[in-house]
Amino acid sequence: MLATGVLSMLLLGDGLAINLLLAAIPAALAAYFAGRAAERRVGAWSLVWAVGCLGLLVVPALRDADWPSFLAVVSAVALGSLALNGGRTWAAVLLSPIGVFNALVPGPVWGWRGLRERFGGARRGVGVGLRALVAASVLLLVFGALFAGADAAFASLLADLMPDASVTGGPWHLVLLASGLVGALAVAHTAAAPTRWDRMAVPAGRPRNRVEWALPLVLLVVLFAAFNAVQLAVLFGGYDAVLEKTGQTYAEYARQGFWQLLLVTVLTLLVVVFALRWAPRDGAGDRNLVRGVLGTLCALALVVVASAVRRMDMYVEAYGLTRLRVSVVAGELWLGLVIVLIMAAGVWGARWLPRAVAASAAAGVLAFGLMSPDGLIAERNVQRYEDTGKFDLDYARTLSTDAVPALDELEEPMRSCALRVIAGHVREDRPWYATSLGQARAADILRDRPLSPAADGAECGGLAVRLTTR
């Protein structure tokens, strides 16, 4: 726990990259030893959640863009909490992330009591530990300074490895130390005394009559089938006839429908949830009715998902890829996966469904971060420029350094105009542990191929106007 606090103080003050994972590893070890001391067994799912948590913390080390890193860190906290608390029900999966935050106050109190018990409650024992730490620090400092003075290569190695611990950032370092220590104590306390969310009783809904339950859903299935009949015609090449009938352009047709279909997907999941809560449960006939109606509804909802994704693809072809567009498509695809899991649960039972949905969400966030969204956006838009001559230069400037490899393929002066703002975000003064792979690659590219000084503000502004009016 102390190692977590010290690493947080020394490494996290310059930004987030591999340092976040380095600070989290000792906290994970603290949780393991605290759980083992409390005679908790490490289950297979707890191990899966723990590995997923640490895997998600790799994303900030790879990507410079803040938004996929933020999603990855939030998801890592949720998975870590699920690993500590355990559970297989919906209540456990949805409420476990609260467990660690509930231990932020009891954790330090528990840690202090444990420290006093470990030293027998005597101040002398605490003094012995402190004196040992001071002696070790003095020895390392003296001999490290002598070795550094004796060999310039060793001195350079120490300078590269040692974090900045200057007194100018003293208050901020203390905040990071306290945050890391309190967080590690909360994690260890949760591992030793988890909240048993599985014990929370959720009352079952009152089953409805077959007609009362099935009639609205059957009519909804008919509506879905009629809509999907039109969508299948469109998906198989009936765009010209549809656009001629509606009087819309290619892009207007795509933009108008995507958001409605995304909302349809979300509402369909809510309908399935409430339908299962109020479903008739008198016998095998009722179970077959529920499976048939909801299975058909889910299958038709998958066609809606495919139609929504296709519409967004049409819109991207017309206007290019953006962060919002790639995010909502990823969300729509995940909702489609959830529908598939619900259909599978209707066949093989739903006991595994809550954890499968949580695992799919974490895997989706991890894949989203690893694929480098900003790099994908830049690559797709550069390809669109080569095909159509259209390019949103102003939007390209808002991307992170992850987009530099793709934007580097542009011709001059567009390359320099697109990279000039992004190049200002490349910081070569950051230490290794706070530099992402995206930042390092961008620095290498810009060092090997400097920006053209001829591409000034006036020329870039005129270029952006010409590209917009094409």
**What are the tens digits of pLDDT across the range 212-243?**
888 999 999 999 999 888 777 665 555 565 56
**What are the tens digits of pLDDT across the range 238-268?**
556 556 666 666 666 666 667 788 888 899 9
User: What mean pLDDT value characterizes the chain?
Assistant: 84
- Which range, of 18-27, 267-276, 411-420, averages the lowest pLDDT? 411-420
d(CA 463, CA 253): 30
Q: Evaluate if residue 50 carries a pLDDT over 60.
A: yes
pTM value > 0.85: no
d(CA 411, CA 419): 12
Candidates 89, 45, 92; CA nearest to 195 is 92
- Sorted by where each begins, the domain ranges of the chain are 2-133+164-199, 210-371, 374-468
- At residue 91 the predicted structure's pLDDT band, cuts being 50, 70 and 90, is confident
Q: Evaluate if residue 164 carries a pLDDT over 60.
A: no
Q: Report the C-alpha dihedral over residues 74, 76, 78, 83, rounded to 10 degrees.
A: -170
CB atoms < 10 A from the CB of 374, how many? 26
**What are the tens digits of pLDDT across the range 165-211?**
554 556 788 888 899 999 999 999 999 988 888 777 777 777 788 88
Query: Tell me, what's the pLDDT at 309?
Result: 87
- Residue 307 or residue 122, greater confidence: 307
Counting beta carbons within 10 angstroms of the beta carbon of residue 459, is it exposed (0 to 12), middle (13 to 18) or buried (19 or more)? middle
Residue 16 CB partners (closer than 8 Å, separation 6+):
60, 69, 73, 434
- What is the dihedral sign for C-alpha 31, 32, 33, 35? positive
- At residue 412 the predicted structure's pLDDT band, cuts being 50, 70 and 90, is confident
